[in-house]
Amino acid sequence: MIKKVYFEILPSTNTYLKENYHKYDDKTAIICHQQTNGHGRLGRNWDSERKNSITMSILLKPKTSKNIALLSLLTSAALFDVIKNYHNDTKIKWPNDILVNNKKISGILLESIYKNKFEAVIIGIGINVNNVYFPKSINHKATSLKKELNIQFDIEEIINQILFNFEKYYKDFLKDNNSYIDICRKHSAVIGKDILINGQKVKVIDILDNGNLLVYDGNKTIDFSYGEITLENSY
Ligand code: BTN
């Protein structure tokens, strides 16, 4: 069972855990009602709204850092399973964005902690649930459940569903069962599509068992392990 610890307000659940991970056990979720300095990948900001967005970070202390990058896909699958229940047009944009109606509804920020040796991993999850206003710069490519469906959602219920799925897939992960990769393949927003990787156009062939993206550049296939990808005509 993942233990939930709540805070009214934090600058960032990821930053809080980076500084305090030693105080908590493996499989603890830090959840806050308001996040004042949330951040995403590549140094971007992550905006959220008090009590209307989900901002939480799951702390894991696996024995090794082996396959740790797969946790992005695992978390994507856990989020997908929940969001898909509410909206039919839900897809996973490798490795860790969830799109609804081709707009980003959720992002994941995975950070590992090393102090001489591997100590822990923090999986930050941000989901737009009942927030409907976005900064102008991202309004065309960001969405929330309420923006799409015009219904007020029970945040707590969604958190519980996510943690339940996460734990199920994490048990698989520890047994080297990659069940969640199949979910990421089956509901991928990118397989079969042209994407841009660092400005270069390539076609996505598959997601490999090691979690890497297999792409074709017109001459050869390339095994792509990490980075920011851009979908043509979309986010
Ligand atoms: C991204 O899409 O770039 C990742 C966004 C991750 C946002 C979450 S919100 C909870 C946790 N705390 C943070 O500061 N970031 C993550």
pLDDT in tens, 181-235: 999 999 999 999 999 887 889 999 999 999 999 999 999 999 988 666 777 655 5
Q: What is the mean pLDDT of the chain?
A: 94
Summarize the confidence of residues 26-30 as an average pLDDT.
Answer: 98
Contact between residue 83 and residue 145 where contact means Cβ atoms under 8 Å apart? yes
Over the range 63-97, which residues count as b (16 or more CB within 10 Å of their CB) and which as e? eeeeebbbbbbbbbbbbbbbbbebeeebbbbbbbb
Q: pLDDT tens digits, residue range 126-164?
A: 999 999 999 999 999 999 999 999 999 999 999 999 999
H helices present in 87-217, as ranges: 145-149, 155-174, 179-186
Ligand 1 neighbours by CB, cut-off 6 Å? 12-14, 38-41, 44, 46, 55-57, 97, 107-109, 124-126
Q: pLDDT tens digits, residue range 110-121?
A: 999 999 999 999
Say if residue 18's pLDDT is above 60. Answer: yes
Cα of 220 from ligand 1 centre, angstroms: 34
- Reduced 3-state DSSP string for 32-101: EEEECCCECHHHCECCCCCCCEEEEEEEECCCCCCCCCHHHHHHHHHHHHHHHHHCCCEEEECCCEEEEC
Supply the pLDDT for residue 186.
Answer: 98
Question: Rounded to an integer, what distance in angstroms lies between the CA atom of residue 38 and that of residue 176?
Answer: 32
Q: In this structure, what token pair is assigned to residue 92?
A: 């996973």
Closest CA to 180 of 88, 37, 81: 81
The secondary structure of 3-24 as a DSSP string is EEEEEEEES-HHHHHHHHGGGS
Contact between residue 111 and residue 12 where contact means Cβ atoms under 8 Å apart? no
Summarize the confidence of residues 11-33 as an average pLDDT.
Answer: 98
Residue to mutate, 32, 39, 79, ligand 1, most ligand atoms under 8 Å from C-beta: 39
Cα of 107 from ligand 1 centre, angstroms: 6
Say if residue 57's pLDDT is above 90. Answer: yes
Euclidean distance between the first and final Cα of the chain, in Å?
Answer: 35
Supply the pLDDT for residue 102.
Answer: 96
Range with the lowest mean pLDDT among 58-62, 87-91, 222-226? 222-226
The secondary structure of 116-131 as a DSSP string is SEEEEEEEEEEEESS-
Q: In this structure, what token pair is assigned to residue 64?
A: 């090794």
Question: Rounded to an integer, what distance in angstroms lies between the CA atom of residue 54 and that of residue 13?
Answer: 11
Supply the pLDDT for residue 198.
Answer: 79
Question: Rounded to an integer, what distance in angstroms lies between the CA atom of residue 167 and that of residue 65?
Answer: 18
Supply the pLDDT for residue 43.
Answer: 87
Cα of 52 from ligand 1 centre, angstroms: 15
Cα of 219 from ligand 1 centre, angstroms: 36
Supply the pLDDT for residue 231.
Answer: 75
Q: In what order do the strands lie in the sheet with 53-60?
A: 3-10, 28-35, 53-60, 117-128, 103-115, 97-100, 90-93
Cα of 17 from ligand 1 centre, angstroms: 13
